[in-house]
Structure 1
Amino acid sequence: MRILQNLEPVYCIDPSELLRPEVKFADKSLSQFRDYSVDENDPIKERVRQTYVQMHTHQTVDFVREKMDKWCKFNHFKATMKETLVKLNELVDESDPDVDIPNIVHAFQTAERIRHDYPDLDWFQLTGLIHDAGKVLAFYNEPQWAVVGDTFVVGCKWGDSIVYRDSSFVDNKDGLNEKYNTKYGIYEPNCGLENLTLSWGHDEYLFRMLEHNKTTLPKHALNMIRFHSFYPWHSGGDYSHLMKDDDEETKKWVTAFNKYDLYTKSTEVPDIEKLWPYYEALIDKYIPGELEW
């Protein structure tokens, strides 16, 4: 909603609306989203489960640090944001139980629903379009378990609400390391989200890439990108002991974004070619030109 303060438009999120995504967002009932039940005879469910097993086995503190060192030099390729989004037309997210369609379709579904509800917040619309652009890592010899899926904190006890939590971490070596397997691990109480190390994937990569390329997207947009897959925190209630006061505001915005990211997934394909001119103008406004990835 919009309020006026000193005659300038100031936008804030109504907390009562955050966890009430409407049925019209989906082609199926809301209870059917994020179904991580195990069924070895269902090829999509088994694909999803195996992706998370690999992720939860190999995403350790050392692994994340190695990936940060490799990818945050931003010397791998150059491309415009549009070129990267078009590339995502070839990607199907192996961790997603809700859809089995190219990622660019989901990008436009998300952006267009945000545009419908927030016609004056063009930065929010663009955030919806580009939020998964970091998945381009999958085209550069990175396995999908190191690119997609829900993120979690490494370096401390794993959150209880992480999907497949009871069985998928059994071979993760950090679980046997006393530095990393306690409630706080390597962190201090209430240290804040920005001081946490999350499992490596497209969220953190895109966040850092945008900062490196000096985007003019606002802080709320960058936080949505960085934490939108951090479901154990923004939806599962984990890691509150590591939050600082400012993180509550971040959570409101991330949760607001989440309903568009999650509940717009459907088999209905938007007219992407017709929409491109509008979103190209937003790209030129906030993240123009050839970018360093």
Structure 2
Amino acid sequence: MLKVIDLPQQNRNYAKLLDPSEQLRPEPIYAGKLQSEFRKFDEDLEDSIKERVRKTYELMHSNQTVEFVKSRMKDWLKFNKFKMTIKDALLKLNDLVDESDPDTNLPNIVHAFQTAESIREEHPDLDWFHLTGLIHDLGKVMAFYGEPQWAVVGDTFPVGCAWGDSIVYRATSFDNNPDGKDSRYNTKYGMYKPQCGISNLMMSWGHDEYLYRLLVHNKSKLPKEALAMIRYHSFYPWHAGGDYMHFCSSEDYKILKWVVKFNKFDLYTKSNAVPDIEKLWPYYEKLIDKYIPGVIEW
């Protein structure tokens, strides 16, 4: 006899976002890899990429504290670092390899076009969605202006409350983070209230929050769904792990659907197949001019 488990309401809401029929199908293959072969964070001292990823997260989890995030927000959210078009910022990603990513060792601009083109193929009429795929990692330009990669790339998580169980390397990587010993921040709710809303959490500092704030500051014409995808696409402990649901408001479940929709294009398009970027530029330049035109403040 099957045992029926009554899940808390927030977990029932999260479960509705998942397609149970997926469990009965053969494991999907993306870019020549099984779905389970993506985002593998197992440790191997002899593997240089896995060691690079582990060290990046160890630094991140040791140093991303409430005070650190406040200091980065104070510094970056003045938007007085430089002025540049979206295209010029994208071109800088030619010189960036994400040190937290176990799935690709290619420059980040390749991933940008892989993501955008896969969205364009499946949703040809949603041009704002195509552009969102192209620019979603653009906040990583911080790495060229003094920020270490552990404060730019990788999965994000809220600071100021207990760390979620599904965070990668969770077991030991937070051992040196002082917030874990601070009674203001180390409980389930920490400095927040139940159902306060995901947008009211202070996230670890990185490219997601920075680009979201930058687009709002520069009055981009992208819809709220695009801004939500950009702001939370690296928040894997929430949209993939099911953690932090106790902070969700009813509006957050609508946002979560879009973030989950975006994730498959972000994650499962990483491969060694490089799009013809020069050929694609004219199309995406038109979208940039439509939604985020001209020189903007960074």
TM-score tier (shorter): over 0.9
Partner SS state of residue 209, structure 2: helix
2:258 paired with 1:246? no
2:112 paired with 1:113? no
2:164 paired with 1:159? yes
2:139 paired with 1:134? yes
TM-score, length of structure 1 as denominator length = 0.93
Unaligned runs of 5+ in 2: 1-15
Q: 2:97·2:107 contact (CA, 8 Å) conserved in 1? A: yes
**Cα distance in 1 between the residues matched to 2:20 and 2:258:** 9
2:261 paired with 1:286? no
After superposition, the Cα gap between the structure-2 partners of 1:78 and 1:282, relative to the gap in structure 1 and judged at 3 Å, is same
After superposition, the Cα gap between the structure-2 partners of 1:161 and 1:15, relative to the gap in structure 1 and judged at 3 Å, is closer
Q: Deviation string for 1:273-293 (max 9, x for gaps)?
A: 000000000000000000100
- Post-superposition shift, 1:31? 1.1
2:190 paired with 1:185? yes
- Hey, what does 1:173 align to over in structure 2? 178
Runs of 4+ in 1 over 4 A off after TM superposition: 14-22
Q: Deviation string for 1:128-161 (max 9, x for gaps)?
A: 0000000000001110000000000100000000
**Cα distance in 2 between the residues matched to 1:74 and 1:148:** 19
Unaligned runs of 5+ in 1: 1-13
After superposition, the Cα gap between the structure-2 partners of 1:16 and 1:187, relative to the gap in structure 1 and judged at 3 Å, is closer
Q: Deviation string for 1:84-127 (max 9, x for gaps)?
A: 00000000000000000000000000000000000000000100
Q: 2:113·2:277 contact (CA, 8 Å) conserved in 1? A: yes
2:271 alignment partner, one of 263, 266, 275: 266
2:154 alignment partner, one of 120, 124, 149: 149
Q: 1:155·1:179 contact (CA, 8 Å) conserved in 2? A: yes
Q: 1:52·1:164 contact (CA, 8 Å) conserved in 2? A: yes
Q: 2:151·2:206 contact (CA, 8 Å) conserved in 1? A: yes
TM-score, length of structure 2 as denominator length = 0.92
2:89 paired with 1:75? no
Q: 1:123·1:217 contact (CA, 8 Å) conserved in 2? A: yes
Aligned-CA RMSD value:
1.6
- Hey, what does 2:106 align to over in structure 1? 101
Q: 1:19·1:255 contact (CA, 8 Å) conserved in 2? A: no
